Structures are given as C-alpha cells and as structure tokens.
Amino acid sequence: MTVLGVTIGKAEEHASEPAEACLSDWRRDCDAIVLELPGGDQLSARLRELGILPGTLIRVLRTGAHLVVQTGDTRLALRREDCDGVRVGAVPAVI
Amino acid sequence: MSDQPIRSDPAIALVGNPNTGKTTLFNALTGLSQRVGNYPGVTVQYQSGHMDLASGDAQIIDLPGTYSLSASSPDEAIAVDVLLGQQVGADPIDVVVVIADASNLRRHLYLLSQIIETGHRVVLALNMMDLARERGVHVDIDELSARLGIRVVPLTSHRGDGIDELIRAVEETLQEPRSEDAFSSPVPGSLVAAAHDLCQDETHPVNSHVEALRVLVDAGGHLEERLVERTNGDITQRLVALREKAATGRPLSAVESEARYAWVAQLVDGTLRGDEQLRPRRSDRIDRLLTHRVAGLAVFLAISAITFQGIFSWSAPLMDAIDGLFGDLGVVVGRYINEGPLQSLVVDGVIAGVGGVLVFLPQIAILFLIISLLEDCGYMARAAMMMDRLLRFCGLSGRSFIPMLSSFACAVPGILSARAISDRRDRYVTILVAPLMSCSARLPVYVLFIAAFIPDRPMLGSWLGLQGLTLLAMYGVGASVAIPVALLLRRTLLQGQSTPFLIELPSYKWPVPKVVLMRVYLNSREFVVRAGSIILAATIVMWALAYYPHSAEIATDFDGRRQAAETLPEATRTTTLEAIDLAEATAYLEASYLGRAGRFLEPVVEPLGWDWRLGMAALASFPARELIISTLGTIYSLGADANETSSDLRSALRASPGADGEPLDTPVALSVMVFFALCAQCTSTLAVIRREMGSWGWVVLSFGYMTALAYAGAFIVYQVTESLGWGAVG
C-alpha cells in the first residue's frame, strides 16, 4: 500500500502535489481520500466511528500544531503529531 | 386497545451525538420539570424530567452525548450502561429516542445502528432539518423509515417544529411489542458468532449479545473491566480466545466501523441526496480567525477579560441588594427573639452565615451565563483546541480546558465536567488541580483584604489600579501553581503517555436562550441548595465553637463594669458602654473553644505574619472558605453580620495588632490572600473528589498538597514582602 515509503520530506511538499502523503503534511483546503489508518489505537478507533475510514473524502481546513479536518459536515480538531499514521492520497480526477 | 398496556410511568431515553440539539429538544419536551438525579451508590448523575403523553405522564432521561456505544469516557459509559440495562437504580427504558443531525446524517446513523441492535424500541428524530434544507441535503423520510422499520420524525427543535409529531411517534411506538427477533447486526458473522459464544457461556458472564459484542470489541473498555472484576479474572483467557476466533487479522474496532458504515451506505443509497461533496460553511472563515494562532489567542484573551470584568462589575448591584436584604432580615429577626444563644444562633450564625454565602449568587449566575453562552454557540471547542498547546505542556490536553474554566466559578461543577475526559490519568490530574483555580468563594476574601490593605493607586493609565492588579495577581497565583503541580503529578503518581486529543468543532449557532437560561437556573439552584445544607451546617458548628462555653463569670464581670459606667457623665457614657460591649464580646470569644484553639495555634501562624484571630478565621474556613468573612466579623467583635464591604471590618482589620505587635499591614494581607488562593478549604470539593476518584487517598493527597502549598506560599510571600519593607506602604 505504501508507495513512496516513509519519507515525504517537507522540501518535496512544495515541489509538486504528492500523490500520497501523511495527513499532517497535506496541503490546506485540498481534498484527499483516506488511504490508511493505524491499527487498533484509541484515536483511530474514534476517527473510524466518526466516519474517517479508508476511502473517505476529507479536507484539511487548518494546518499547524493542530489540524482541522472536515469529513461530511463534521469538523475535527486534532494534534498534528497524533495523525502521523494517517495516510491520504489525491482524489482521482474523474469520479 | 393494545395487548401490552403502556406502563403507568414509561421511561424514555434521549440519546445522540454531542452537538445535535439534544439539550434543546430535552428542554422543549420537559420544560421546568427537569432535575439532576443520582443513581444510588455510584458516581452517576443524570438529567431527567417529565413529559406529557396523551396516555399520561412519561419520564424522560437525557443521556450524555456519545458518538458510539464504545464508551471512552465516564460520561459515555453512563449512556451505555443505561441503554444496556446495566445501571443500578435506573428504570428499564421503554423507548429510546435517537436524535440525529439531518445535515450530517451518515455519521449519526452509526450510533443508530448500534442502538437498534440493543432490541430497544427506537424512534429516530432527525433534527436540524432547516439547516439540512439550506445546505441542499434531502432526506426521504418515508423510505428511510420503511427501510429501518422504525418511526422517523423530522425536527427543527430550536423552533419547536416537529415536537408534537415526535411525541405522537413515541406514544405509538410505546404501543408496539418489543421486537423478539434474534440478534442481528451488520458486523461480520465471525464477530457475531464470538459474541454469541460469550453469551452462551455456562457462567453467564454477560446479559446480552450487545454487551458481549462491546466487551469483545472495546478491549480495555469499562464493560470488559467490570466483567473481569466480576469473574475475578477467570474470563480473561476466554476473551483472548474469542477475540482470536472473531479476528480477521485486523483490529475488531476497525472491522466493526467498516461494517457499520457499509450498512449506512446501503441505507442512505436512494434516501439521502446532496451530501456527497464537502461543502464549506460560512463559519469556516470565522473559524480561520478564531483559531488563528495569534488573532485567535487575542480573541480568547479578550473574551476572558470581559468574563472577569463581567463577574466583578455586573454583579455588584445585585450583591449589594442581597447583602442589604440579609442585613435587614437579621435586624428584624433579632427584635423578635430574646437575647441569648438562640438569637445569636439565628442572627449571627444562620442569617449572617448563609446570607454571606448567598451574596455570591449573582456572580455564580453571571459566570454560568457566560460559560453557557460560549458553550452553546460552539466557541468552547475552539478555545479547548487553542488551550491544548498550553495544557499539553502540563501533560494534559485541551479536554481539561472546560473543567478548569468552570472551576473559576466553582470547583464542584468543574470536577463533574471532567467526566468528559476519556483518559483516566488526564481526568485525575484535572480533578486534582481544578481546585487551584480561584473560585468565586475566594473573591470576597480578596476583596476584603485588598480594600483594607492595598493602596488605591492608579497604574497603567487610569483603567487598572494597583488594587485591580493585585486581584488579577491572586487569580494568577492559583492558575500558575497548577502548571508545576500537574507536571509533577503526571511524572509521579499519574505517569503515562499523553493521550491523543480529538475534538469536534460544531458549527457556530446562535445560543438558544431557553437552553442557556435553564443551565444558569439549574446551577444557581444547586448553589442555593448547597448554601442551605452544607454551608448552613458548617456555619452552625462554627458559631457554636465561637460562642460556647459562654461562661457566666464573664457576664458578671462586665455587668459590674457597665454599672460603674452608668455613673459617668452623659457625654462619655454611650461610647464607654459601647466599648464595654465590644470588650465583652472579645472576652467571650477569647474564652470560647475557638479562641482557645486559636491561642494554641498561634505559633503555627506566626511565621505567616498572622495573629491568633486570623489563624482562627482561616482554620474556621476549612469547611468552606466563605466562612472566613463571618468568622472574622465575629472575631473583630462586630457581630457576624459584618461582610467584606463593611468599612468597619476593614478598619478593624487595619487597626488590629498583628503577630509582631505592629498593626496588620500589606505583607500580612498578601500572605492571607495567597493562603486562601492555594488552600483546599471546601468540604464540598473534597466530597466530590472522593466521589469522582473513588478513594479517600486522593482526598488526603489533594487536601495535603494544597494546604502545604498554601502555607509555604503564604510564608514566602510574607517573609519576602516584609523584608522588602512593603509593610510601610500600607
């Protein structure tokens, strides 16, 4: 599943839109599809209950120490480093 | 005519995600009949009320908001326990009303899928229909209802639309028999089978399939913990085996969520339109400002400043009015009771003591008004997110923000609101430091001593004086001491990784006046009840200790002096007689149990710059810190009806000799205030800590560390300011 390995450096972020990245590195106001959530920890269990599952469309509304992520009409605030394991990818151009 | 007659007082539970307008609906259904109840023996409080059905009265229970039945906080555990019939003392639920946000339906149907499984009769209330329409979201109510096999009622609860229809739907649902169908769930068959196995276990460890499912999926959750305890750990091996059996190589919680969302997707296919894209909200732009790391913080500080200003200045006229009322009441009642212990008890003890506390009702009401407004409009979650950075530094999270903020009004509701914190250690640290926030009962102490000993000197232009600055500093003392205390607790007794922080940012909305006022009313009522019970009892005890033994010898002695004074010329007689009365009161006090204890205590409080009177007043304030005002009043021979604005008590304090024989001065005042800022002088708080943390050990710790800090703080402040020569300033 992991295509680009672990390192999506910050330098690369500006170079071009990555096809896949960690949620905390995703650009603001860009839609993304959730690709991967970590296993059985409490945070990802809660995220799943709130509808953030692999395949869900999300948008990052705020970046920085805390992210605000939109899914459906829900906005969730979480710490940047807590979402390290969440991987997201670009929305396919044609739906 | 139905086979199953409705129970005479059916119980209806209201369940839903947070921020779905559940409280608004609850208020619309119950009105003023609501109350806060306690289930016996446990730490649970719940909100309940009555609603009228055509067939009679029904009890309606507002369960804490929860996203799912996987409870992660004590608050959510209450909702789960009531729904699963595990709550001791709770009536069996006859109908569950699930309230969902129509504009964000998918997420809310997740909880519905879990609740339908419990076998309860369910009504789905689709709230916020106005918002959904505005956003172009369309729900096919009839088709949804047909697919679910339950009644679905569209609502706009803040406007009252759909309430009658909801009541009718509840009534019709009550007439129906409970579904006797076998347990069916969208979760994969292997998981259902494992839950079934656990149910069929010969030791009957669980009561229902749903409970079995929750025990298996929510590893480490409260239901598993309780089960392990009940079976003395015998079940642990069995659970491991069952989880292995059910497993598909992935965490069970992930398996469950994905299965449920697949079910939801099927359900809304063809019944829900217009929610496919992520739509911006108008408030997203406001949010960008309010959560901005600089501008957002500035707004937050401004709101805090307005809050404090509001508490202090808006409440003043009301406080004076209440104060005057009790003063007059004391005078009037005093006329009708003959002089003696009874008069003293009623006037000095009950009226002055309890009245002195009720004076703070306006402040409590204003603080709760502001907190309710901020919470109801959706700002609190933003503030919690911004404060998460600071709180994380203390080893806590933004979840602790609301409990801490509420503690500035009163630590009791603050500690109760810590139930929303899922991590046990976070919750415990929050509970232990919450009483350090300067509650409104400390305010009169600050006001009295600042007015008496801090010169009214303008600083920073004209809008903030030295007195105001001192007051602010006193609020800062508690809050800043809380930081190292929390850090220390997190590194010693309550070690552990900091837990992730996740909070929903609800959409902004105009506060619903009814919801806000109801909250102010309920909290104010609780405060008044407290004043009439705990404070009243403590006041009577303190009065008795300061009044008895009331020896006849002193009376004889002073009667003699009075007779001698009668012969004085007219001009000096009155003042001499007054002086004798004062001296007599002082003599009684010094001979009282409290006075004797004060003498005994003197060496202990001397390093703080206090004399025995201050020491006694501080000691008398351990049941409730408000008691210092009435105790000081008694001690300074002015009668207990002296209060913090009384210039007489102020001048009496100024004229009073301190420990060093010099008059009390600024260092002494600062030392008293710092002591009160840090000390655990509140039996209600300690009782709540016992209830919420479940052991006396924590109470002892909390009392011990705060009292030690208070003593050390007062000592340092006195010694430092004294050596700086601040005594001369006062």
Mean pLDDT of B234-261: 87
Mean pLDDT of B661-669: 79
Confidence of residue B440 (pLDDT cuts 50, 70, 90): confident
For residue A95, the distance in angstroms to the closest alpha carbon of chain B comes to: 11
Confidence (pLDDT) at B729: 47
Q: Tell me which residue in A51, A58, A79 faces B107 most closely, judged by beta carbons.
A: A51
pLDDT higher at B14 or A14? B14
Task: Please report residues of B whose CB lies closer than 8 A to that of A50.
Answer: 67, 107, 504
Query: Is some CB atom of chain A closer than 8 A to the CB atom of B283?
Result: no
Confidence of residue B730 (pLDDT cuts 50, 70, 90): very low
Confidence of residue B368 (pLDDT cuts 50, 70, 90): confident
Mean pLDDT of B60-64: 90
- The tokens for B576 are 């001499």
For residue B646, the distance in angstroms to the closest alpha carbon of chain A comes to: 49
- The tokens for B655 are 């004229």
What whole-number percentage of chain B has pLDDT above 70? 90
Task: Name the pTM for this structure.
Answer: 0.81
- The tokens for B414 are 């603050």
- Mutation for testing the A interface, residue in B257, B272, B504 having most A CBs under 10 Å: B257
Residue B370: closest CA among B520, B503, B515, B507: B520
Q: Tell me which residue in B254, B281, B388 faces A48 most closely, judged by beta carbons.
A: B254
Confidence of residue B637 (pLDDT cuts 50, 70, 90): very low
**Could you write out the DSSP letters of every residue in B334-380?**
HHHS-TTHHHIIIIIIIIHHHHHHHTTHHHHHHHHHHHHHHHHHTHH
Looking at A61-65, B17-21, B572-576, B645-649, which range is the least confident one?
Answer: B645-649
What pLDDT digit, counting tens, does each position of B678-701 carry?
A: 999 888 889 889 888 888 999 999
Confidence of residue B91 (pLDDT cuts 50, 70, 90): confident
From first CA to last CA, the distance across chain B in angstroms is 82
Contact A53 B70 (CB under 8 A): no
Confidence (pLDDT) at B719: 94
Confidence (pLDDT) at B340: 77
Mean pLDDT of B199-207: 82
Cα B361 to Cα B531: distance, rounded to the nearest angstrom: 10
Confidence (pLDDT) at B512: 82
Cα B237 to Cα B705: distance, rounded to the nearest angstrom: 41
3-state secondary structure (DSSP) of residue B58: strand
Contact B205, B231 (CB under 8 A): yes
Task: Please report residues of B whose CB lies closer than 8 A to that of A82.
Answer: 500-502
Confidence of residue B460 (pLDDT cuts 50, 70, 90): low
Looking at A21-30, B6-15, B235-244, which range is the least confident one?
Answer: B6-15
Confidence (pLDDT) at B728: 59
Residue type at position B658: G
Task: Please report residues of B whose CB lies closer than 8 A to that of A29.
Answer: none
pLDDT higher at B180 or B513? B513
Confidence (pLDDT) at B51: 85
Cα B380 to Cα A61: distance, rounded to the nearest angstrom: 18
Task: Please report residues of B whose CB lies closer than 8 A to that of A46.
Answer: 67, 72, 502
Hey, which residues does B45 pair with through a beta bridge?
A: B38
Q: What is the CATH number of domain B11-175?
A: 3.40.50.300
Cα B333 to Cα B351: distance, rounded to the nearest angstrom: 9
pLDDT at B220 over 50: yes
Question: Cβ of B436: how many Cβ atoms within 10 Å?
Answer: 27
pLDDT at B29 over 70: yes
Q: How many Å separate Cα B516 from the centre of its chain? A: 15
Confidence (pLDDT) at B647: 46
Mean pLDDT of B426-430: 94
Task: Please report residues of B whose CB lies closer than 8 A to that of A38.
Answer: none
Confidence (pLDDT) at B298: 92
Confidence (pLDDT) at B658: 56
- DSSP category for residue B277: S
Confidence (pLDDT) at B168: 94
Cα A74 to Cα B157: distance, rounded to the nearest angstrom: 20
Task: Please report residues of A whose CB lies closer than 8 A to that of B250.
Answer: 39
Contact A77 B381 (CB under 8 A): yes
Residue window 26-85, chain A: list those with CB within 8 Å of chain B.
Answer: 31, 37, 39-51, 53, 57-59, 61-62, 64-66, 68, 70-79, 82
Mean pLDDT of B214-230: 90
Task: Please report residues of B whose CB lies closer than 8 A to that of A24.
Answer: none
How many residues are recorded in chain A?
A: 95
Confidence of residue B40 (pLDDT cuts 50, 70, 90): very low
Contact B504 A75 (CB under 8 A): yes
Mean pLDDT of B242-256: 85
- The tokens for B271 are 């019944």
Give the residue carrying structure tokens 């590893």.
B219
Confidence (pLDDT) at B462: 54
For residue B596, the distance in angstroms to the closest alpha carbon of chain A comes to: 57
3-state secondary structure (DSSP) of residue B86: coil
Residue type at position B596: R
Q: What are phi and psi of B690, to 5 degrees?
A: -60, -45
Dihedral over alpha carbons B600, B604, B610, B614 (to 10 degrees): -50
Mean pLDDT of B230-244: 87
Residue type at position B219: A
Tell me whether strands A74-79 and A66-71 are parallel, antiparallel or unpaired: antiparallel
Give residues with Cβ within 8 angstroms of B186, minimum separation 6.
B113, B259, B260, B262, B263
Q: How many Å separate Cα A77 from the centre of its chain? A: 13
Give the residue carrying structure tokens 């394991």.
A85
Could you tell me the domains of chain A?
17-89 (2.30.30.90)
For residue B36, the distance in angstroms to the closest alpha carbon of chain A comes to: 29
Looking at B416-430, B475-489, B528-542, B632-646, which range is the least confident one?
Answer: B632-646
Cα B222 to Cα B69: distance, rounded to the nearest angstrom: 11
Give residues with Cβ within 8 angstroms of B720, minimum separation 6.
none
Looking at A6-20, B147-161, B544-558, B662-676, which range is the least confident one?
Answer: A6-20
Confidence of residue B569 (pLDDT cuts 50, 70, 90): confident
Domain ranges for chain B: 11-175, 189-247, 281-535+665-730
Give the residue carrying structure tokens 């905390």.
A24
Q: What are phi and psi of A87, to 5 degrees?
A: -110, 135
pLDDT higher at B213 or B443? B213
Q: Which value, in Å, is the radius of gyration of the alpha carbons in chain A?
A: 12
Tell me whether strands B502-504 and A74-79 are parallel, antiparallel or unpaired: antiparallel
Confidence (pLDDT) at B150: 94
- The tokens for B251 are 């965490």
pLDDT at A51 over 60: yes
In chain A, the residue whose alpha carbon lies closest to the alpha carbon of B387 is A66
Cα B88 to Cα B67: distance, rounded to the nearest angstrom: 23
For residue B251, the distance in angstroms to the closest alpha carbon of chain A comes to: 5
Handedness of CA B195, B200, B204, B208 (dihedral sign): positive
- Mutation for testing the A interface, residue in B224, B263, B276, B278 having most A CBs under 10 Å: B278
Provide the ipTM.
Answer: 0.82
Query: What angle (nearest 5°) sits at the alpha carbon of residue B177, between those of residues B175 and B180?
Result: 165
Handedness of CA A18, A23, A28, A29 (dihedral sign): positive
Task: Please report residues of A whose CB lies closer than 8 A to that of B279.
Answer: 73
Confidence (pLDDT) at A1: 37
Residue type at position B475: Y
Confidence (pLDDT) at A84: 84
In chain B, the residue whose alpha carbon lies closest to the alpha carbon of A58 is B278
pLDDT at B45 over 70: no
Confidence (pLDDT) at B348: 72
Task: Please report residues of B whose CB lies closer than 8 A to that of A72.
Answer: 104, 106-107, 275, 278
pLDDT higher at B40 or B677? B677
Cα B231 to Cα B224: distance, rounded to the nearest angstrom: 11
Confidence (pLDDT) at B41: 39
Confidence of residue B37 (pLDDT cuts 50, 70, 90): low
Task: Please report residues of A whose CB lies closer than 8 A to that of B106.
Answer: 51, 72
Looking at A51-65, B32-46, B202-216, B442-456, which range is the least confident one?
Answer: B32-46
For residue B329, the distance in angstroms to the closest alpha carbon of chain A comes to: 53
Looking at B33-47, B149-163, B237-251, B589-603, which range is the least confident one?
Answer: B33-47
Contact A45 B503 (CB under 8 A): no
Give residues with Cβ within 8 angstroms of B572, minimum separation 6.
none
Cα B458 to Cα A46: distance, rounded to the nearest angstrom: 53
Q: Tell me which residue in B104, B135, B502 faces A76 most closely, judged by beta carbons.
A: B502
Cα A61 to Cα B505: distance, rounded to the nearest angstrom: 12
pLDDT at A27 over 70: yes
Q: Tell me which residue in A39, A48, A79 faces B501 most closely, judged by beta carbons.
A: A79
Contact B121, B176 (CB under 8 A): yes
What is the overall mean pLDDT for chain B?
A: 84
pLDDT at B675 over 60: yes
Query: Per mean pLDDT, which of B3-12, B229-238, B706-715 is the most reliable?
Result: B706-715
Confidence (pLDDT) at B72: 86
